[in-house]
Structure 1
Amino acid sequence: MTGAFDVPVDPDAPEAREWILRELAGPEYEAARPTLFDRISQAIWEWFTSLRFGGVDGPPVLPLIVVGALVLVALLLAFLIYGLPRVNRRSRADLDLFGVDDERDAATIRRAAADAAAREDWTLASVEGFRALARGLAERTLVTVSPGTTAHGFADRAAGAFPDAADELRWSADLFDAVRYLGRAGDRAGYERVSALDARLSAARPVLPEPTGAPA
């Protein structure tokens, strides 16, 4: 009589298949199964090692080392010559604002002008107010403020885009030169006039030049 724990030694085909599938479903087999990453990595490596260079099988180790070393040397030289790369590096021409390198945007300069006005430093407030006016129009690409551009040079260029404000622009340039270079003390009225002009032009639509050859 067959015992309760006897196992048939001659299973039929369906039963044998079921035993095999059950065995392969065990955790030890599942853990050993290669992942998708493993299969992709293996395929890439097999392709790379199948390459032939100069009649030699496999990757050219020495040429790869030489190329890698040359790349590293080039990067090192670039770092020594140019320094670390800066995101959105601005050119010298973009930074120059009436003879001073100024990285601030128009909004930041306006806040500086307002802070100076709050301290009743009207001279600084007037200077910063005019700088904010110039940087704001430059950011809108309406006026180019390049190295060497004077306050009056800027005013003349801006008057081309805003002819209705030509007189106020030239007056503001006069004020800037007076308080910045001639030692004149600024006052509340001057700062507020420049600030009002800045606000007005910030919201105004410029007069664009007529295209060349346009009908009259």
Structure 2
Amino acid sequence: MVTFRVMDVPVDIDRDTARRAAAEELSDPKYRDARPNILQQIGQWLGEQLEKLLDGLSSVVPGGIFGLLLVLVLLIVLVVVIRLRTGKVARAVRAERAVFGGKRQSADDYRRSAADAAAGGRYGDAVRDRFRAVVRALEERALLDVRSGRTADEAAAEAGALLPNVADALRQGARLFDDVHYGGREGTEAAYRALTELDERCRRERPVAMAGS
């Protein structure tokens, strides 16, 4: 509320004199310092716009404000899911499921390592290395490109397109690998023998692209 001191303002004033007196009063630094700065004004404006938006949405979303809150929660969940599938977490999970975690060996090296592990009763290691032998052999035959980060399922799908006779067996082999390598299950002698048979079948199969040549 603006007040004027009686001694400064005439008792009988016209419109122009009153305007000048008001302007002089408001030019006092104390009024200028009390006004919000530009950032505060922008923040206040954004808050008002957000309030208007929420009021408008709450009137059209079923359930009013509670329905709006439900929609916002669902949007947040959607963003989190997308981040999990595409962000750092997804990349970390993908890296853990990759067939080759470090430097590649030859297919024969993986076969020997798998056989040694099986002989020692370490069937988890035997399953992992025997499936790696399958994938590495396919890379050595140029049926799969040498690519980092490929998962067992991806390797099975890509190789199965070229070797349709063993496509189902490749998918089953990828599942055995994932169960041990990612799922934490114990490897078994039966799983190791199944992958050994898969390895031999893949070595005998000719890709469909070369079948007619």
Question: What is the TM-score normalised by the length of structure 2?
Answer: 0.51
Q: Is residue 127–residue 180 contact of structure 1 (8 Å, CA) maintained in 2?
A: yes
Give the aligned partner of residue 13 of structure 1. none
Task: Tell me what 2:11 maps to.
Answer: none
C-alpha distance in 2 between matches for 1:145 and 1:169: 18
Give the corresponding residue for 2:133: 132
Distance 2:172 2:150 in 1: 17
1:116 partner amino acid: A
CA RMSD of aligned residues (A): 1.9
Question: How much does 1:152 deviate?
Answer: 0.2
- How much has 1:173 moved relative to structure 2? 0.5
Q: CA deviation at 1:139?
A: 0.4
Preserved CA contact (<8 Å) 1:179 1:185: yes
Q: Is the 8 A contact 1:134 1:145 kept in 2?
A: no
Q: Match of 1:208, SS?
A: helix
2:26 corresponds in structure 1 to: none
State the alpha-carbon separation in 2 of the partners of residues 110 and 117 from structure 1: 10
User: Counterparts of 2:103 and 2:195 in 1: how far apart (Å)?
Assistant: 19
Q: Secondary structure at the match of 2:209?
A: coil
The residue that corresponds to 1:103 in the other structure is 104
* Matching residue's letter, 2:200: A
Partner of 2:170: 169
* Alignment coverage as a number of residue pairs: 115
Q: Which whole-Å CA distance do the structure 2 matches of 1:168 and 1:116 have between them? A: 22
Superposed displacement of residue 136, structure 1: 0.3
**What does residue 192 of structure 1 align with?**
193
Cα deviation, 1:28-72, whole Å, max 9, x if unaligned, reads xxxxxxxxxxxxxxxxxxxxxxxxxxxxxxxxxxxxxxxxxxxxx
Partner of 1:183: 184
Equivalent-residue separation in structure 1 for 2:191 and 2:150 (angstroms): 22
Long gaps (5+) in structure 2: 1-97
Is contact 1:132-1:198 (8 Å) kept?
yes
How far apart are the structure 1 equivalents of 2:185 and 2:173?
14
Separation in 2, partners of 1:157, 1:209: 16
Cα distance in structure 1, aligned partners of 2:139 and 2:104: 13
Whole-angstrom distance in 2 between the partners of 1:107 and 1:163: 24
CA contact 1:145–1:154 (8 Å) conserved in 2 = no
**1:145 and 1:151, CA in 2 relative to 1: closer, same or farther beyond 3 A?**
farther
1:153 Cα deviation from its structure 2 partner: 0.3
CA offsets 1:115-140 (integer angstroms, 9 cap, x no match): 00111111110000000000000000
Query: What is the letter of the counterpart of residue 175 of structure 2?
Result: D
Tell me the CA shift for residue 180 of structure 1.
0.4
AA partner of residue 124 (structure 2):
T
Q: Which has the higher helix share?
A: 2
What is the CA-CA distance between 1:98 and the residue it aligns to? 2.4
Cα offset, 1:145, TM superposition: 4.1
